[in-house]
Amino acid sequence: MPIIVCKNQLVFKLSTDNWDYCFRCNDYGLLEHVCSSAAVPDTAETLLQTLAPDKMMPFTAYPKERDMLSNGSPGVLLQEYGTFNAGDFRIPALKVRSSDGTSTVRLRWHSCQCYAGTPVLENLPCARSVENDDCETLEIKLTDPEIGLAVYLSYTVFPHCDIIVRGARIVNESSSLLTVERAMSMQLDLAPGNYDMIQLPGAWGRERHAERHALHHGIQSINSNRGLSSHAANPALVLAERTATETQGCVYGVMLAYSGNFLGEVEVSEMDSVRIVMGINPELFSWPLTPGSSFTTPQAIIARSEQGLGGMSRQLHRFFRRHWLPEKWATAKRPLLINNWEATYFDINEEKLLNIARSAAQVGVEMLVLDDGWFGKRNNDLSSLGDWYVNENKIPNLEALVRRVNELGMKFGLWFEPEMVSEDSDLYRSHPDWVLRIPNRSYSLSRHQLVLDMGRDEVVENIFQQMKNILSRANIEYIKWDANRIITECCSGALPPERQGEAAHRFVLGVYKLHARLLQEFPDLLIEGCSGGGGRFDAGILYYAPQIWCSDLSDAADRVRIQLGTSLFYPCACMGAHVSSCPNLQNLRITPLATRGNIAMSGTFGYEMDLKELSDGERQQIAGQIAMFHRLNPLVQNGDLYRLSNICSNNHIDSWCIVSPDRQKGFLTVFRKNTDLNQPPVRIRLQGLEPDAVYQIDNRTLSGKALMNIGLTFELEQGDAVSRIIEFAVV
């Protein structure tokens, strides 16, 4: 049983295959964390003995009515959901303003219920239960009767992925207004220990570069206040024991399934305990609750592994495949695509597109994606976002174009930027009030565009109808959903002044609503997320779009760092990765075609160039890459990733291998960024193999044990940005 509730003592033990998480309701009704550890045989009641002896610490506060002899100081106890200004001075999970003007909350035990399966959230991404996953949910109700507040904390246990998904619902049970000022999706309090934090900071073109640093006393945080999860930070962090590596040691991975403003904070307290909270960023958020109404937080996904960062990543990847990504695509092979963007930018016409499609079809590419510039009167980025009708000067007949592409044996995909509008557009001219902007005040532009107020149903409906018109006209099987600016001066014309704190969150809900409506109308549609490259690479988007364009930097040599950082949390099969032209159009690097193919091979794979401009030799090389894609893509989709180099440092050589779930086959990728003379041969120790099986690898026959303990030695050719893919299989 994943959840054991010991009713008479109110102790709860949540168990996955390798993780026990225990908490209790203490004598004065506070939800107190007991322990989180590798699986132990002890019962929930027995685990109470692991609690530190009760002790009132000097200079701490305690509730007046409390029995001085029982339980320690609330500000020192490990808790499940700390609240603001009632004796716990660490970062709170919850802050609610009541009609008396204060934001103090004191939550106490009320009741609990347990059920098989997962909670269903309306209009928010939520984890799915599948057959035989034994998943169970515990819901705890806490209340603050003095202000009439109820909080439902939910814990869904996915035993075979070693994952617990958390969330909270805040309900106003009073007869006056309550305002939620901060409602985190999760809190995890850990006993004192030496921990490092790993996060994925970045910027446009260098997204998700993993960074590791030691925790210090006080608060360290990651956040976005840009309306989107952003290039600059990712809503995910790792807490790793100081000695934990890729292969061993205890690590926690915490992810927020949310695509807007987020905050993740880690605090080392005065007593050295560690608190992690993650949720919607309170900076641009407040949510008034009228009597009887409620607010639901997005879900947080928490993984724990004793097998280091690699173990944690594989757990999360498995969880995404089984319980999160759109079911139709979660484990399915995605079409190998060619995208015209870097080949043409805005300068498109039907003939150019057909030429790109023809030369791609000849080598076996499976889908043409028509990127930006096909609609309104868009010839550059100054106009037309919001006008989702075909520019007939460029594409006289969309149906015919799609048909001709289909006749080449290829699918057809189309680019949209649904949440955005250009000032120079029919949509903006007819509805200037549909954008997020403070009326009668100056405002910011970014890429010459504005952001639609997706919190308004009429806006979502308008964009949905426009997209539906296009998608039902022709056989369009994929869309690339872009979002090329961040949100500033966030203010909704549909909300009164006292409710402006809702605008940013309502925007995200509208984005999810539009995704859901499109998928309801076109259930087979494949959506690829994008945001000026990888500015919105998060679990929220992955719930609707199983792949996301990783970065606008398409150079393979720099992509290695981006893709490895991303893989800390997200599966390889979710990373949009293409082979682009050379020299690279963004950083001008000359990266060999072989390396461009080898690095994209560990993503969704595709091309972003005009193949007919290549030499015959290069086209032949591409035919070879495509044959390799067909062999290796099932491994990328469903295999286990083992990173073999340290993702938090700049390495001379980077390498990783992907192994089939049955360990019978896989492939190793090795990459060296800078040439280096007079080096010894490369020696790589593989991971994830069957120790006693014998593998055929690089014209050698070696046992799994030998490959993992001694390693494989080989030469890498001279030159910058060289790489090799080495396939292996059990003989």
Residue type, 392: E
Tell me how far apart the alpha carbons of residues 503 and 70 are, in angstroms, rounded to a whole number.
45
Distance in Å, CB of 300 to ligand DGJ, minimum: 28
The number of residues that bind ligand DGJ (CB under 6 A) is 11
Least distance CB 439 / ligand DGJ (angstroms): 29
246 vs 342 by CB, closer to ligand DGJ: 342
Question: Applying CB under 6 A, does 606 fall inside the site for ligand DGJ?
Answer: no
* Residue 457: CB minimum distance to ligand DGJ, A: 27
Please provide residue 34's backbone torsions phi and psi, each rounded to the nearest 5 degrees: -100, -55
CB of 529 to ligand DGJ, least distance (A): 10
Biggest alpha carbon distance in the chain? 84
- The residue (of 28 and 345) whose beta carbon lies closer to ligand DGJ is 345
The answer to whether the beta carbons of residues 631 and 564 sit under 8 Å apart is no
C-alpha angle 160-164-165 in degrees, rounded to nearest 5: 125
- Calculate the alpha carbon distances from 13 to 43, 48, 489, 719 in Å: 8, 11, 45, 56
Q: Minimum distance between the CB of residue 551 and ligand DGJ, rounded to whole angstroms?
A: 8
Q: Which residue is nearest to ligand DGJ (CB)?
A: 372
If you write DSSP's letter for every residue of 150-195 in order, what string do you get? Answer: EEEEEEEEEGGGTEEEEEEEEEE-SSS-EEEEEEEEEEEEE-S--E
Query: Residue 448 and residue 516: Cα distance in Å, rounded?
Result: 28
What is the token pair recorded at 101? Answer: 């003007």
Kindly name the residue from 196, 453, 482, 558 that is annotated as catalytic: 482
User: Considering beta carbons, is residue 110 or 448 the nearer one to ligand DGJ?
Assistant: 448
Nearer to ligand DGJ, 203 or 623 (CB): 203
Binding residue (CB under 6 A) for ligand DGJ from 32, 207, 306, 372 = 372
Closest to ligand DGJ by CB, 30 or 451? 451
Minimum distance from residue 231 beta carbon to ligand DGJ (Å): 11
Token pair for 267? 């605090």
Among 533, 571, 666, 704, binds ligand DGJ (CB under 6 A): 533
What whole-number distance in Å separates Cα of residue 624 and Cα of residue 618?
Answer: 10
In angstroms, rounded to a whole number, what is the distance separating the alpha carbons of residues 295 and 167?
11
Alpha helices in 2-85 (DSSP H): 44-47
CB of 380 to ligand DGJ, least distance (A): 10
Measured from the CB atom, the residue of 375 and 549 that comes closer to ligand DGJ is 549
Nearer to ligand DGJ, 12 or 388 (CB): 388
Q: At closest approach, how far in Å is the CB of 547 from ligand DGJ? A: 13
Specify the residue, 147 or 353, whose C-beta has the smaller distance to ligand DGJ: 353
Residue 303 in contact with residue 19, Cβ under 8 Å?
no
Site for ligand DGJ in 90-129 (CB under 6 A): none
In whole angstroms, how close is the CB of 601 to ligand DGJ at the nearest point?
A: 19
Select from 574, 479, 485, 569 the least CA-distant residue to 532.
485
Q: Which of 88, 133, 162, 552 is catalytic?
A: 552
Nearer to ligand DGJ, 324 or 341 (CB): 341
> What binding mask, one character per residue, do residues 230-269 give for ligand DGJ by CB under 6 A, x or -?
----------------------------------------
Q: 610 an active-site residue?
A: no
Beta-sheet pairing, 411-416 with 367-370: parallel
Nearest CB to ligand DGJ, comparing residues 189 and 528: 528
End-to-end C-alpha distance for the chain, whole angstroms:
40
Amino acid at 459: V
CB of 152 to ligand DGJ, least distance (A): 39
State phi, psi for 152 to the nearest 5 degrees: -105, 115
Only segment of 177-185, 199-207, 493-501, 525-533 that touches ligand DGJ (CB under 6 A): 525-533
Q: Which among 251-259, 514-522, 526-534, 686-694 is the span making contact with ligand DGJ, rule CB under 6 A?
A: 526-534
607 binds ligand DGJ (CB under 6 A): no
Is cis: bond before 583, omega within 30 of 0?
Answer: yes
The DSSP secondary structure of 575-642, one letter per residue, reads EE--EE-SS-TTT-----HHHHHHHHTTTT-EEES-GGGS-HHHHHHHHHHHHHHHHHHHHHHHSEEE
**Residues 661-680 within binding reach of ligand DGJ (CB under 6 A):** none
The answer to whether residue 552 is catalytic is: yes
Query: Measured from the CB of residue 414, what is the shortest distance to ligand DGJ in angstroms?
Result: 11
The only residue of 482, 528, 558, 640 in contact with ligand DGJ, by rule CB under 6 A: 482
Give residues 28-87 in contact with ligand DGJ (rule: CB under 6 A): none
Stretch that binds ligand DGJ, among 285-293, 489-497, 528-536, 666-674 (CB under 6 A): 528-536
Q: Is 552 in the site for ligand DGJ (CB under 6 A)?
A: yes
- Among 196, 371, 528, 538, contact with ligand DGJ (rule: CB under 6 A): 371
Whichever of 12 and 416 has its CB closer to ligand DGJ, that residue is: 416
Residues 6+ apart with CB under 8 A from 22: 11, 12, 13, 14, 33, 34, 35, 36, 44, 47
| C-beta of 180 vs 526, nearer to ligand DGJ | 526
Q: Judged by CB under 6 A, does residue 484 bind ligand DGJ?
A: yes
Q: Give me the least distance between CB of 346 and ligand DGJ, in Å please.
A: 8
Asked if 341 interacts with ligand DGJ (CB under 6 A), we say: yes
Candidate segments 322-330, 505-513, 530-538, 619-627, binder of ligand DGJ by CB under 6 A: 530-538
Tokens coding 385 = 């976002």
* Residue pair 530/480 in contact by the 8 Å Cβ criterion: yes
Nearest to 257 by CA among 319, 327, 210: 319
Judged by CB under 6 A, the chain residues 380 through 419 that form the site for ligand DGJ are 415
The residue type at 470: I
Give the per-residue contact string, 421-460, with ligand DGJ (x = CB under 6 A; - = no).
----------------------------------------
Which conformational region is residue 77 in: left (phi greater than 0), alpha (psi within -120 to 50 degrees), or beta? beta
Contacts of 99 (CB under 8 A, 6+ apart): 176, 177, 178
**Structure tokens that stand for 466 in this block:** 């426009």
Tell me the window of 160-168, 215-223, 529-537, 686-694 that interacts with ligand DGJ (CB under 6 A).
529-537
- What distance in Å separates the CA atoms of residue 556 and residue 579, rounded to the nearest whole number? 8
In whole angstroms, what is the distance from residue 249 CA to residue 508 CA?
36
Q: What is the DSSP letter of 502?
A: G
- Report whether 183 contacts 171 (CB < 8 A): no
Match 């007046």 to its residue by tokens: 64
Residue 711 sits at φ, ψ, to 5 deg, of 105, 175
Nearer CB in complex with ligand DGJ: 552/610: 552
Name the segment binding ligand DGJ (CB under 6 A); options: 156-164, 195-203, 307-315, 527-535.
Answer: 527-535
Structure tokens at 456: 């308004």
- Applying CB under 6 A, among 549, 605, 642, 695 the residue interacting with ligand DGJ is 549
Closest distance to ligand DGJ from the beta carbon of 471 (Å): 18
Contact criterion met (CB below 8 Å) for 605 and 336: yes
Residues that bind ligand DGJ (CB under 6 A): 341, 371-372, 415, 482, 484, 530, 532-533, 549, 552
Catalytic residues: 482, 552
